[in-house]
Amino acid sequence: MTSISKAFGSSQALWDVSIELFGGSVHALMGENGAGKSTLMKILAGVHQPDSGEIHKDGARVSFANPKDALDAGISTVFQELSLLPNLTISENMFLGREPVTRLGTVDYAKMNAETRRALQELGLTLDPSSLVSELSIAERQFVEIAHGIKADASVFILDEPTAALNAADVEVLNRHIRRLRDAGKAIVYISHRMDEIFEICDTVTVLKDGQVIGTEDIADLSPDRLIAMMVGRELEDLFPNRSENLGERLLEVTDFQIAAGSRPFSLAVHRGEIVALAGLEGQGQQKFLRALIGLFHPVAGHVAIRGRQLPLPANEANGIRRLRSYGAAFVPEDRKEEGLFLGLSISHNIAMALHSKVSELQPARSFSGKVHDTMASMNVKAASPNAPVTSLSGGNQQKVLLGRYLAANMDLLLIEEPTRGVDIGAKSEIYKLLRDFADEGGAVLVLSRETIELIGLSDRIYVIHGNTVVSNMQAKDATEHKILDAALGA
């Protein structure tokens, strides 16, 4: 791809971007959200057409009017949003748009299923080609999309954040498939925010910033710090704010909490001025514990007190969040798009939501425009105006709006799941600082995240959770990924 430029309306998404892909190599594409990675790949995949610039493949100039053209030319894409049709079978999805027909003019299912089975076997998958895609797990769907590319004899594979929804075991399987494709001489583009993956699987990396190429380097010549520096012009240590010095009173106190029958009861506490993390392997009970406080999960036993007031357990699903709020505590869910934000509503509505819920339903609604303005300014939300719909914002700014809703409502305690999921590094750093400022002003934060590095850098204290109970309580400044894993598995 040479000299690609693309503008959406008045905003220039790509400036004169050129990259080169080679067979038998995995090429990482990195950059903050909104840097233009996805736009660049969508042009390569035929979803968007470039305003200027050329795409050459094997020496010949090509152009794509739609994704099918690109696939026909040997470019296969696994997008962030999966694009398979759930009500069709695997083989129907594989052949959709160019199904073989029998002499009677009916769709040739025997041939489709046989070829699909062969393509799946190349990936070492034993899925039934005639099973519906809706029955597959997200990981399996991604593998099917890769098989789709293999079957179309694609030579270029684009993987746009393929691991965002996968667990560790599936990531391992995916990596195996990527290596297999690479060894078969395919060119692979890999987009991800997760540093460890980039260093494990990729050969070269191109960094984009504000729609321009910052540089292309061999991964062997880079360290994670250098790579981050390329992306944001900052080093990793600068990402996290300083830890807090002084603790206040106990805000959240949990005693004899038993998540599941048979698991060991545990106790924990969070003080004012403190950020406390729940760490450990995925699915060990961290999320169950947080969601028990709002009633989405019913624990076996336990006492929870916020500012000394007992929170009745099990909480009720219908009003768990409202009750929690009356205690001065807010719950920030992990999936901002599905659970947190009203994507179609404006920023100001989304922020004012928590303010509205503090006044009686019968009072006339205020706009809270001053408060919204202050919040947006203090959080550095980048948007055209407070009336812009949240869906038009980048992931990082969406996350800030979600946090802003609770910060604006003067909460004491924030319970946060995945504070920076799908957020670029620049915004991550800002969100860490916001949370630290909140704690410094006397608030308390209880946070869980899949990214252990983030937990270590952000928090003051870490509870390691394993097997539905707390197995270790360590100071974050002494913690390392290794120690946390040790504590979890050694329990």
Nearest distance in Å: CB 141, another protein:
12
Nearest distance in Å: CB 343, another protein:
12
Alpha helices (runs of H) in 10-95, residue ranges in sequence order: 37-44, 67-72, 90-95
Q: Distance between CA 234 and CA 227 in Å, rounded?
A: 10
Nearer to another protein, 88 or 491 (CB): 88
Q: Which two tokens stand for residue 162?
A: 């393929």
190: amino acid identity, one letter: Y
Nearest distance in Å: CB 86, another protein:
5
Q: Which residues pair with 75 in a beta bridge?
A: 156
Nearest distance in Å: CB 386, another protein:
26
Site for another protein contains 18 (CB under 8 A) = no
Nearest distance in Å: CB 68, another protein:
3
Nearest distance in Å: CB 335, another protein:
15
Q: Distance between CA 164 and CA 453 in Å, rounded?
A: 17
In the sheet that holds 2-8, the strands lie side by side as: 11-17, 2-8, 52-57, 60-62
Angstrom CA distances, 89 to 95, 142, 326, stand at 10, 14, 49
Nearest distance in Å: CB 29, another protein:
21
Residue among 9, 58, 103, 106 that touches another protein (CB under 8 A): 106
Nearer to another protein, 47 or 229 (CB): 47
Site for another protein contains 96 (CB under 8 A) = yes
Nearest distance in Å: CB 97, another protein:
3
Please identify, among the stretches 98-106, 298-306, 313-321, 324-332, the one whose residues bind another protein according to the rule CB under 8 A.
98-106
Residue 199: which H helix or E strand, with range?
helix 195-201
Site for another protein contains 344 (CB under 8 A) = no
Q: Distance between CA 191 and CA 157 in Å, rounded?
A: 11
Q: Give the 3-state secondary structure of residue 446.
A: strand
Phi first, then psi: give them for residue 345, nearest 5 degrees.
Answer: -90, 165
Site for another protein contains 338 (CB under 8 A) = no
Nearer to another protein, 391 or 410 (CB): 391
Residue among 7, 51, 99, 258 that touches another protein (CB under 8 A): 99
Site for another protein contains 32 (CB under 8 A) = no
Site for another protein contains 104 (CB under 8 A) = yes
Token pair 């019913």: residue: 298
Nearer to another protein, 82 or 353 (CB): 82
3-state helix, strand, coil in the chain (%, to 5): 35, 25, 40
Token pair 């509870």: residue: 463
Which of 110, 146, 156 has its CA nearest to residue 129? 110
Site for another protein contains 295 (CB under 8 A) = no
Please identify, among the stretches 96-104, 259-267, 310-318, 347-355, the one whose residues bind another protein according to the rule CB under 8 A.
96-104
Write the interaction track for another protein spanning residues 122-141; mark x where CB under 8 A is met and - where it is not: ----------x-xx------
Nearest distance in Å: CB 71, another protein:
8
Residue among 5, 83, 216, 378 that touches another protein (CB under 8 A): 83
How many helices (H) and strands (E) would you count in the chain? 16, 20
Residue among 7, 107, 165, 166 that touches another protein (CB under 8 A): 107
Please identify, among the stretches 88-96, 186-194, 319-327, 432-440, the one whose residues bind another protein according to the rule CB under 8 A.
88-96
In the sheet that holds 461-466, the strands lie side by side as: 329-332, 413-417, 444-448, 275-279, 461-466, 469-475
Residue 189: which H helix or E strand, with range?
strand 187-191
State in Å, rounded, how far the first CA of the chain is from the last one. Answer: 52
Q: Distance between CA 323 and CA 111 in Å, rounded?
A: 59
Site for another protein contains 88 (CB under 8 A) = yes
Rg (CA), the chain: 25
Write the interaction track for another protein spanning residues 150-189; mark x where CB under 8 A is met and - where it is not: ----------------------------------------
Residue among 105, 262, 308, 364 that touches another protein (CB under 8 A): 105
Instruction: Return the sign of the alpha-carbon dihedral for residues 263, 266, 270, 275.
Output: negative
Nearer to another protein, 78 or 205 (CB): 78
Residue among 58, 81, 221, 478 that touches another protein (CB under 8 A): 81
Nearest distance in Å: CB 106, another protein:
4
Nearer to another protein, 89 or 420 (CB): 89
- Interface positions, 36-75, toward another protein (CB under 8 A): 47, 66-68, 71
Nearest distance in Å: CB 87, another protein:
3
DSSP state of 338: I
- Determine the size of the site formed for another protein (CB under 8 A): 26
Dihedral angle computed from the Cα positions of residues 72, 73, 78 and 83, in that order, rounded to the nearest 10 degrees: -30
Q: Distance between CA 323 and CA 351 in Å, rounded?
A: 19
Site for another protein contains 97 (CB under 8 A) = yes
Q: Which two tokens stand for residue 436?
A: 């630290």
Positions in the binding site for another protein (CB under 8 A): 47, 66-68, 71, 81, 83-88, 92-93, 96-99, 101, 104-107, 132, 134-135
